[in-house]
Amino acid sequence: MKALKLMAAALAFVGATAQAATNQEIINHVSYNVILATYNDLASQAANLNAAVNTLAANPTEANLAKAQDAWRATRIPWESSEAFLFGPVDSLGIDPLLDTWPLNILDLDSVLKSNRAITTDFVRALGTNLQGFHTIEYLLFGDGKSANTKPASALTAKQFEYLKATTALLAENTAYLANSWSKNYDPENPSAPGYVQVISNPGFDNPFYSSDRAVMEEFVQGMMGILDEVANGKMSDPMGADINSANMALVESPFSWNSLNDFTNNIRSVYSIYTGHYRSTKGPGVKALVERVDAALAARVEGEILNCMQLIQAIRPAGGGDFGQAIFTPDGRARAQKAIDALNALHATMENEVLPTLDM
Q: pLDDT grade, residue 6 (50/70/90)?
A: very low
Q: Is residue 16 part of a domain?
A: no
What's the pTM?
A: 0.93
Q: Is residue 199 part of a domain?
A: no
- Give residue 18's pLDDT: 43
326's enclosing H/E stretch is helix 324-327
- pLDDT higher than 90, residue 197: yes
Structural domain of 252:
23-193+210-360
- Give residue 225's pLDDT: 98
Residues 202-223: tens digit of each pLDDT: 999 999 999 999 999 999 999 9
Instruction: List the Cα angle 55/134/193 in 5-degree steps.
Output: 100
Q: pLDDT grade, residue 15 (50/70/90)?
A: very low
Q: pLDDT grade, residue 46 (50/70/90)?
A: very high
In percent, how much of the chain has pLDDT > 70? 95
Residue type, position 340, single letter: A
Residues 293-313: tens digit of each pLDDT: 999 999 999 999 999 999 999
Residues 26-44: tens digit of each pLDDT: 999 999 999 999 999 999 9
Q: What is the mean pLDDT of residues 180-202?
A: 97
Number of domains in the chain: 1
How big is the chain, counted in residues?
361
Residue 61, SS3 per DSSP = coil
Q: Is residue 205 part of a domain?
A: no
Which backbone phi and psi does 320 adopt, to 5 degrees?
-90, 10
Q: Is residue 204 part of a domain?
A: no
Q: Is residue 17 part of a domain?
A: no
Residues 270-283: tens digit of each pLDDT: 999 999 999 999 99
Residue 87, domain CATH: 1.20.1420.20
- pLDDT higher than 70, residue 116: yes
Residues 311-355: tens digit of each pLDDT: 999 999 999 899 999 999 999 999 999 999 999 999 999 999 999
Whole-number mean pLDDT of the chain? 94
Return d(Cα 90, Cα 295) in angstroms, integer: 33
